[in-house]
Amino acid sequence: MTNYRYGYVRVSTLEQDPAGQLDAMAAAGVERERVFVERASGALDSRPELAKLLGVLRPGDTLVVWRLDRLGRSTSHLIQTVTELGERGIGFHSLTEAIDTTTSAGRLLFGILASLAAFERDVIRERTMAGLAAARARGNVGGRPPIMTPEKLAVARQMLDAGTPKSVVAKTIGVSRPTLYTHLGRLLNDGVTR
């Protein structure tokens, strides 16, 4: 069984010329018929040429890109894609960054990049949690304000006591019927009667 090197070239707009990336693929030994050219923004979820390429790759093959940002929409997407390739027995080679997961040094470097990305996510999450805790300590509560206010609940109770149908009450105070029913249920569970 022959192992092949496949190239993935992406330009963001129709006006951009992929010639530079194609030249880099040729210099890296990727045959032109094994290069998939995408003309789409990296932010797009749908990249048909990449999907075709991922379907063609077999264990032992190597996916070659000119730069890391040509493959991944984000750091996490890039890491996920390269990790999935590795799980399938497919190598990854980024020419500009000299990352080649078919070598032990390349796998080490990619592992370091993946660890740095995980560290960055953890730091962002920790900062967010610390910010929320500080806001709560100052009396600020995050999230959207509750739709059912004590005032609305008091009006709802008065209307219900007067015999107004629940659907009319809900519409009058500007909440959905399920929201009204939920809050009425809480009142009944707390021992409060109409």
Burial 159-181 (b: 16+ CB within 10 A, else e): bbeeeeeeeebbeebebeeebbe
Residues 165 and 102 in one domain: no
Residues 27 and 75 in one domain: yes
pTM comes to 0.62
Which CATH number do you get for residue 104? 3.40.50.1390
- 144-178 confidence digits (pLDDT tens): 778 888 888 888 888 888 998 988 999 999 999 89
CB 8 within 8 A of CB 49: yes
Closest CA to 30 of 11, 53, 12: 53
**pLDDT of 110 higher than 90:** no
In a domain, 138, yes or no: no
Could you give the residue numbers annotated as active site? 12
Range of the domain at 157: 150-189
Contacting residues for 45 by C-beta, under 8 A, at least 6 apart: 73
CB 62 within 8 A of CB 95: no
- 14-27 confidence digits (pLDDT tens): 778 899 999 999 99
pLDDT for the residue 193: 45
Tell me the β-bridge partners of 6.
63
Number of domains in the chain: 2
Average pLDDT, the chain: 86
Which CATH number do you get for residue 157? 1.10.10
In a domain, 19, yes or no: yes
In a domain, 86, yes or no: yes
Residues 87 and 154 in one domain: no
In a domain, 121, yes or no: no
Q: Does 61 or 191 have the greater pLDDT score?
A: 61
